[in-house]
Amino acid sequence: MNTSPDIYQSTARTLKALADPKRLRIIDMLSCRELCACELLSAFSCTQPTLSHDMRVLVQAGLVRERREGRSIYYHLDHDRFAALGSTFAALSQPKLDCICNRTEEDATPCA
């Protein structure tokens, strides 16, 4: 696995999208089937713009896909993205020959 700073940035953005209880509940709801935005909205006591924001975050993170049918928007999980995320966690947590812990100070990433 490539453990370049890009994979760290990408994974951190995805985790940020998931770091919200309502968004995790949305993911759980979508694990069963595709749902219309109106079905999701009825499960929460929030406004439509608030739900739209949460859905936009999940879509931009690549965790959820959307499709339009007339005036309705339907959402479903991107199962490939979740599988890739699982693979990333597995790779980051496993010993490897080119482990980051074996790199020299010259290879170090500067603190930002």
In the chain, what are the domain boundaries? 5-92
**pLDDT at position 4:** 66
| 64-69 sheet: strands from edge to edge | 35-36, 72-77, 64-69
- Look up the pTM and report it: 0.80
**pLDDT at position 75:** 98
**pLDDT at position 54:** 97
**pLDDT at position 109:** 61
Distance CA 40, CA 52 (A): 10
Low-confidence ranges of the chain (pLDDT < 70): 1-5, 100, 102-112
| 98 residue type, one letter | D
- Residue whose structure tokens are 């020299």: 104
**pLDDT at position 32:** 93
User: What CATH number should be reported for the domain whose range is 5-92?
Assistant: 1.10.10.10
